[in-house]
Structure 1
Amino acid sequence: MPHEHQQIGTAAARLADRLPHSVMMTVADAVARYGGLERAAAQQMILHCVPTPDFRVATAEFIAHWHSTADRIGAEAVAVALVTAAQCERDHRHGEAVEVVWTGPEPAETRFRQTEQAILEVVNSASERLTVVSYAVYRIPRIREALVVAAGRGASIRLIVETPNRIEGQGEYDCLRALGGDVASACSVYYWPQENRPRDDNGKVGILHVKCAVGDGYRMFLSSANFTEYAFTINMELGLLVTGGKFPEQVERHFERLVEAGVLVRV
């Protein structure tokens, strides 16, 4: 097999690891339609079909790699490589594994993954994207350090937190203060504004009560546990660590849509 074919196959597989299957198929269709145009025009038309900025960046990198290292391969062949890579990646992701995550007393015959260990596995494995959501965040030095390291290796981190004092009109972001400046500066931090929240008949406002972390749309921690010292040590907490399958990507995309729709607002 010519070296250029190997190059484009490797690049297509790398792109399939970064993009959802539906977006990969959109890119493949756009490449087949527009890839034969002059380079700049082809790139513009292909990227116009891609829905979000991060997906466009990844697709642009693929196109640049194609044009610089495998430009003799035609658009139809590249489109086939993209479809093949997308299908292989989807089949791989469907190999789902689910583990129980626990904090609390454990009988001798029971051994589950520990809450903090599971969160660290998600954070440490994320190479491209990381979404972290929690109602309460404090006294988590190992996770705080892992978030800074993840940002340093290039992961784009979206941190979504509850802001109880903000809702009460006190103008403080306790979660951000607890995380520290290093984490706050390394992440895109979002909250759910009071005006965007439903209320009951007595005027009580809803709260952000989600506790989860999703890495690269591939690995997800979901639990009763807040990101706090007590949740990792003395509480009784139960959750799941999901690797592969469709759910991590679905949850990641759900929060992306909430941001895009303006339901969640950047601090």
Structure 2
Amino acid sequence: MNSHHIIVEAATALASSLPTSTVETVAAAIFSSGTTSLKAAVTKRIPHHQHRDRALSFIDCWQYEAPDLDKSVVAIALQTAALSEQKHRDSQTVELVWTGPDDGDIPFRRTEQAILQLLDSAQERITLVSFAVYSIPNIAKALVKAAQRGVKLTVIVETPDKLGGENEYSTLRALGAQVEACSSVYYWPKEKRKLSEKNKPGILHVKCAVADGEWLFLSSANLTQQAFTINMELGTLVRGGSMPKRVEQQFTRLISSGTFARLPSDGVS
């Protein structure tokens, strides 16, 4: 690998790990500073110590691997990498979402925090799908607030009543009367499902939420307090790109085709 390619890779790595504005600050410092004063200029302009350390490491890489490379070329490489990364971030961001033991080394988003961000960001519509629902006061409050600002709520559950043998999971009661009152609630009728060789019906095992075709929360976690606190759960929070819209359209098609049945507003006694 030649020295120029090393700098291109280093610029790309820096742009992917720092805010775009910080990378642009480093590029501006390179343009305006001499070799001897460059590190001092970067140190002065970047207050965040981790960001500053990464920027200084990039400068060390440049001065060690390609000291003959003109500063304008290095600065332009940084600006190009920053612009490319920003376009990528604007098109789609994907964050890992976690419930479970936290060793503090890898900073995952927490499951409840991620889905609340999605619900609070919605402006027009939310589609919420879950196998089990139980004791989710913060989620219920966020859904009611969304409805109050005019967001259309579509909730899809495994069953409108109870999961077999698990009396605590009375899905619509867990959502609460306010959520039920302001939502279009759907379920997957048993007669619409394929059967296994042992004559057992398939189950709606999806756990996801979509907002405005722009945000997608996809997780192993059911909408239960246990899944948000003590279970070990893993998922993603996606913003932008094509995936949120495609998932939203999939459930819209299933509703339109009659795969899901709508529950009357008095569906829970």
Q: How many residues of Structure 1 are paired with residues of Structure 2 in the alignment?
A: 175
Out of 95, 101, 117, the residue aligned to residue 113 of structure 2 is 117
Cα deviation for residue 196 of structure 1 reads: 0.4
Match of 2:196 in 1: 200
Structure 1 contact 144–179 (Cα < 8 Å) conserved: yes
Cα deviation for residue 243 of structure 1 reads: 0.4
Q: What's the CA shift string for 1:150-171, capped at 9, x where partnerless?
A: 0110111100011175686xxx
Bigger radius of gyration among the two: 2
Measure, in 2, the Cα distance between the counterparts of 1:173 and 1:115: 20
Measure, in 2, the Cα distance between the counterparts of 1:167 and 1:136: 8
TM-score by length of 2: 0.62
Cα deviation for residue 94 of structure 1 reads: 6.7
Match of 1:81 in 2: none
Structure 2 contact 161–171 (Cα < 8 Å) conserved: no
In structure 2, relative to structure 1, the CA distance for the partners of 1:167 and 1:178 (3 Å cut) is closer
Q: Percent identity?
A: 56
Cα deviation for residue 178 of structure 1 reads: 1.2
Match of 1:178 in 2: 174
Match of 1:218 in 2: 214
Shift >4 Å, 4+ stretches:
91-94, 164-168
Cα deviation for residue 108 of structure 1 reads: 2.3
Q: CA RMSD in A?
A: 2.2
Out of 92, 95, 98, the residue aligned to residue 99 of structure 1 is 95
Cα deviation for residue 144 of structure 1 reads: 0.2
Out of 230, 240, 245, the residue aligned to residue 236 of structure 2 is 240
Measure, in 1, the Cα distance between the counterparts of 2:135 and 2:169: 15
Match of 2:140 in 1: 144
Structure 1 contact 102–114 (Cα < 8 Å) conserved: yes
Task: Say yes or no: does 1:227 pair with 2:223.
Answer: yes
Measure, in 2, the Cα distance between the counterparts of 1:128 and 1:151: 9
Q: What's the CA shift string for 1:202-240, capped at 9, x where partnerless?
A: 111111100000000000100000010001100000000
Instruction: Give the aligned residue type for 1:203.
Output: N
Match of 1:127 in 2: 123
Match of 1:50 in 2: none
Q: What's the CA shift string for 1:15-36, capped at 9, x where partnerless?
A: xxxxxxxxxxxxxxxxxxxxxx
